Amino acid sequence: MLQWVGKRPIDTVSNYPAQLAEVYGVDNPETEPTYENFRLGPNLMFQGDNKEILSTLLVQGFRGKIDLIYIDPPFASGADYVRKVALRGKREKLAAEGHSVAEQMQYTDIWANDTYLQFMFERLILMRELLSDKGSIYLHCDPTMSHYLKLIMDEVFGIEQFQNEIVWAYRTGGVGKSCWPRKHDVLLFYSKSSGYTHNALQERIFYEKPFFNEQVDDEGRYYADVYIRDTWDDIKPVINVSKERVDYPTQKPEALITRIIKASSNEDSIVLDCFAGSGTTAVAAEKLGRRWIAADLNKGAIQTTMKRIQTRLDAPRGIAHYRVNNYDVSTDMELKRIVIAKYGVATDRKDMFFDGTLDTTLVKIVDLTKPLTRLNIQHIKDELDNRPDEARDVTVLCNGSELGFQAELNTENQRRPINKIIVRDIGREGITTFEPPQATVDFDVNRDKQSVTLTIRDYISPTILDRLDIERTVFDEHIDDFRAQIDCVLIDTAYTGEHFTIVESDVPEKKSDFIKGKYTVSLPHPDARVAVKIIDRLGEETVVTE
């Protein structure tokens, strides 16, 4: 049994609040995602910490209901994963030193070993409880952590439930740095019980002359149908399948997930992927007629999945998108990047708790999408207790705090000889993080005919300008169409302010295409309120109402 510092099982689960954010192809969506309304309702997309999402699914009736889990979690690779984001239309350089491509951080895969193992242990325990008796789980990893993860899965699911280790081998998709370049991933395949679903799949092998049979196809080629073995070298990485590429880091090919779904589920099965990434599992499950649940912490992953479903499938079942605890990691990461630059924090990638140093103090940047809480401070105190030789004070950078909290800390610091905790509120100190995008939209409403024509006149994203390191005047000189910044447009013809119902969408499939910018839509009733959601190339969302 594998041991690590801080190892602890999950004894209880909690029902975390889920907020309905957006629906596509759904009438009368439920405010709470329960198993009872899922059976006949839409597929589910969650944004938030998947530990909280898995806990909520257990409480809401999904225990023992999931038939297949595929996950492609972080590999503890020590890398930052960045998506290259290009403007639509023109691809030329904007200026001598500028670029037409910006970078968007998707997630950071840098962990202390013990932290990573506990992270995976907790989530695998919850996934085990969600699996049905006929269920299976495939954990996608690479040689970096596969040996540790196998030991954890032996403990969580039982050694006897290990079914196989599948090797996915490929020749392209990265440059090797050694004399033996790494060109394979590992899929750890476990089941919930001995009665797991397995549909044997075959592949056709061709021969130049008869081998052990004399089967010949219509083209005169000799062949044999054999069962697919546990080394898959016939599936190309996404870099070689251009029609699938959505420029999402670590994107996996549809053929890989399709094979898993076909082999380990049936048409009435429920498939779960709680590290959804680019949404390949959701797309493959939808095409194969399976029900699916997907989750990711990153807003960009949610937007990518929703866009793929809308543009690449003819008649999807419908999606209800919920936020759990209303957490947006992509916004937090962007805010943190700006704060580090503006305060001059010297970052330390080796410290897995503190973010770096400022002058002579340690720096902790708490979640900048929420106010500072007493629990945040307690976590810092707990960490300092584990570092008895640490004598430096701590600067906490936050974006707002609980009422009366600063006074309590000031009193406590007077009694603390070392490790004083100094809170700096970026809002009160006048630090401007980033300006929201600005959109100009005209609404020409005809109440008699119950229709509206809306025209997007202008759009500008200060974040895009900042990421391209270019001024607005230079941008306007080189980009003659503001739509180059816009990724897609969504329209709700009966907006209530509670959630966004996608009635019409304009999602250009080609990167070189612009959104139309002008739309005429019908109103469900004369008093209906129209809203348009504009999502730009960096994933920023702006909702404009008439």
Kindly state the helix (H) or strand (E) to which residue 102 belongs, with its residue range: strand 101-109
Question: Tens digits of per-residue pLDDT, 1-17?
Answer: 899 888 888 888 888 88
**pLDDT at 291 (0 to 100):** 95
**pLDDT at 172 (0 to 100):** 73
pLDDT band at 53 (very low <50, low <70, confident <90, very high): very high
d(CA 60, CA 36): 9
pLDDT band at 328 (very low <50, low <70, confident <90, very high): low
Question: Tens digits of per-residue pLDDT, 187-212?
Answer: 999 999 999 999 999 888 887 777 66
**pLDDT at 138 (0 to 100):** 98
Phi, psi for 37 (deg, rounded to 5): -85, -15
Question: How far, in whole angstroms, is CA 500 from its chain's centroid?
Answer: 20
**pLDDT at 11 (0 to 100):** 83
- Which has more confidence, 307 or 255? 255
Above 80 in pLDDT, residue 319?
Answer: yes
Question: Tens digits of per-residue pLDDT, 108-167?
Answer: 544 567 888 999 999 999 999 999 999 999 999 988 889 999 999 999 999 999 999 999
Contact (CB, 8 A) for 395 and 356? no
Least confident of 74-83, 337-346, 454-463: 74-83
**pLDDT at 98 (0 to 100):** 46
- Top mean-pLDDT range of 31-35, 91-95, 133-137: 133-137
Q: Max alpha carbon distance in the chain (Å)? A: 89
pLDDT band at 94 (very low <50, low <70, confident <90, very high): very low
Long-range contacts for 265-268 (Cβ within 8 Å, ≥24 apart)?
A: 265/67, 265/68, 265/197, 265/290, 266/67, 266/197, 266/199
For 473-511, b where at least 16 C-beta lie within 10 A, e where not — what string? eebeeebeebbbbbbbbbbbbebeeebbbbbebbbbeee
**pLDDT at 96 (0 to 100):** 37
**pLDDT at 13 (0 to 100):** 85
One DSSP character per residue, 461-499 reads -HHHHHHHT--HHHHHHH---GGGGEEEEEEESS--SSS
Above 90 in pLDDT, residue 339?
Answer: no
Above 60 in pLDDT, residue 222?
Answer: yes
Strands, sheet with 451-460, edge to edge from the N-terminal-most edge strand: 438-446, 451-460, 518-522
**pLDDT at 331 (0 to 100):** 64
Closest CA to 294 of 282, 283, 286: 282
Mean pLDDT, rounded, for 11-26: 87
**pLDDT at 149 (0 to 100):** 96
**pLDDT at 84 (0 to 100):** 64
Question: Tens digits of per-residue pLDDT, 283-292?
Answer: 999 999 999 9
Q: What percent of the chain has pLDDT over 70?
A: 88
Q: Which class does domain 32-76+111-197+230-327 fall in?
A: alpha beta
User: Beta strand 319-324 with 18-24: parallel, antiparallel or unpaired?
Assistant: antiparallel
Least confident of 24-33, 201-210, 399-408: 399-408
Above 50 in pLDDT, residue 95?
Answer: no
d(CA 112, CA 309): 36
Contact (CB, 8 A) for 322 and 352? no
Question: Tens digits of per-residue pLDDT, 511-542?
Answer: 789 999 999 999 998 889 999 999 998 888 89
Q: What percent of the chain has pLDDT over 90?
A: 47
Average pLDDT across the chain, whole number: 85
Instruction: Locate 225 and state its tokens.
Output: 């149908």
Question: Tens digits of per-residue pLDDT, 467-498?
Answer: 777 777 777 777 788 999 999 999 999 998 88
- Top mean-pLDDT range of 207-216, 217-226, 250-259: 250-259
- 3-class SS string, 126-172: HHHHHEEEEEEEEEEECCCCHHHHHHHHHHHHCHHHEEEEEEEECCC
Q: At the topology level of CATH, where does 438-545 sit?
A: Immunoglobulin-like (2.60.40)
DSSP state of 87: P
**pLDDT at 109 (0 to 100):** 46
**pLDDT at 124 (0 to 100):** 97
